[in-house]
Amino acid sequence: MDAAEALASLMSPQGRVDPYPAYERLRAFGPVVQTGPGLYAVTGYAEADELLRDSRLRMLDGELRDQILPQWRDSPALSSIARSMLRTNPPDHSRMRRLVAGAFTPRRITAMREVVATQAGELIATMAADGRGGSPVDFMAEFAYPLPVGVICALLGVPAADRPLFRRWAADLTGALEPEITPAELAVADAGATELRDYFTELVAARRRIPGDDLTSALVQAHDAEERLSAEELLANLVILLVAGFETTTNLLGNGLAVLLAHPRAADGLRRHPEQAPAYVDELLRYDSPVQLTTRTSGEAVRIGGVELPTGSWLLLLLGAANRDPRRYPEPDRFDPWRALPSPLSFGAGPHYCLGAGLARLEAQVALPMLLRRLPELAPAGAPRRRIRLTLRGYDNLPVTVGEPA
């Protein structure tokens, strides 16, 4: 099998459901490998980390998109993502990131701990009631989706009654983050993006009239004060906060619980020592990363891992593969919360390092031990179904039995 075939095996439906064998096939060619004309895959931890921090590499922003896919402007999904900080380069990126990070303060995040604990407690109680008598419940539908949606909606100031709408729109829009997308999938993503844009246009108008203590009000003020954030950028960043803020965390909770249920001794350790949750959550992030890849293009020639990347190369930075690099993590396929060097690349690195990492970690650190303690008999109930998605790795459903609550 050559490197192009190894990459094709990763992109196949089977590779999307279980990418780890394909990562090993790619790794056999070295930490950085050419997989097609101008296309390179990175599986090495040190190399991916270095490239994410290298200012010669750029996001595929609007300007670069115009050269290869000028139709992006006609797609609400692609243009919303392209205008947000996630896909821009300096100076736009630095300006937007500073503004949003200024509103996304540690104080605001710490204040969410109580919201997370309250909402997690309520969801566990509902799950216990629905699963009474041994009937299986779907952990994704009953917990992994509603918790991050509730938390991000509370942060953004979205009324509780509107939460169910967001789940579908945001799930539809995330299709546009896949490395390859069909016209039918793009149409679904576009519909989601349009709904979200319309919704946030109204929310922004409402918060302008009556500001609250939420992130949307803070960003509206940044826009209105000195036009430091344009109206389009304001909407695009609100949408990306919502989307980045819940599909990913949903998958951390789903992938995380599945790993814990498959490792009962480790789960028991967390149940007895909830204060060890930070180490467990970091290892869960490494072991089965909710975000498996990101992409960059090289603005100049770059030499890395013994490979010369010419200007204009297209890079697939395989975070999920870097997290299993044996040069960084001995026995990488073993789940071990006591590793000396956690720091997985699941939140990226460098200037685009995840703005919500603190919030996502907080949600998992509160929710996972609470689930294990309040539902000590929680167990898998039949085969879960994986989503056929590579970038955002998670489950469609994860059936469990809840047993007797503690």
Q: Provide the binding-site residues for ligand HEM, judged by CB under 6 A.
A: 85-86, 97, 152, 240-241, 244-245, 248-249, 252, 290-291, 294, 346-348, 352, 354-356, 359-360
Nearer to ligand HEM, 34 or 294 (CB): 294
Cβ count near 251 (within 10 Å) = 24
Composition of the chain by helix, strand, coil, percent to 5: 60, 10, 30
* SS3 labels along 176-208: HHCCCCCHHHHHHHHHHHHHHHHHHHHHHHHHH
Distance, CA of 139 to CA of 377 (rounded, Å): 14
| Minimum distance from residue 354 beta carbon to ligand HEM (Å) | 3
Nearer to ligand HEM, 3 or 285 (CB): 285
Using DSSP's 3-state secondary structure scheme, residue 298 falls into strand
Nearer to ligand HEM, 131 or 214 (CB): 214
Nearer to ligand HEM, 200 or 402 (CB): 200
| Minimum distance from residue 180 beta carbon to ligand HEM (Å) | 17
| Minimum distance from residue 314 beta carbon to ligand HEM (Å) | 14
| Minimum distance from residue 27 beta carbon to ligand HEM (Å) | 20
Cβ count near 326 (within 10 Å) = 12
| Minimum distance from residue 268 beta carbon to ligand HEM (Å) | 24
End-to-end CA distance of the chain: 52
C-alpha angle 354/360/362, rounded to 5°?
A: 130
| Minimum distance from residue 174 beta carbon to ligand HEM (Å) | 12
Nearer to ligand HEM, 128 or 285 (CB): 285
Contact 161, 145 (CB under 8 A): no
Measured from each CB, the residue nearest to ligand HEM is 356
| Minimum distance from residue 133 beta carbon to ligand HEM (Å) | 33
Closest CA to 307 of 42, 58, 37: 42
Both tokens of 176, joined, read: 């546009």
| Burial class of residue 293, CB neighbours in 10 A (0-12, 13-18, 19+) | buried
Distance, CA of 387 to CA of 288 (rounded, Å): 14
| Minimum distance from residue 250 beta carbon to ligand HEM (Å) | 8
Q: Which residues contact 343 (CB under 8 A, 6 or more apart)?
A: 282
Nearer to ligand HEM, 75 or 346 (CB): 346
Closest CA to 38 of 241, 306, 310, 226: 310
Nearer to ligand HEM, 93 or 271 (CB): 93
Nearer to ligand HEM, 144 or 402 (CB): 144
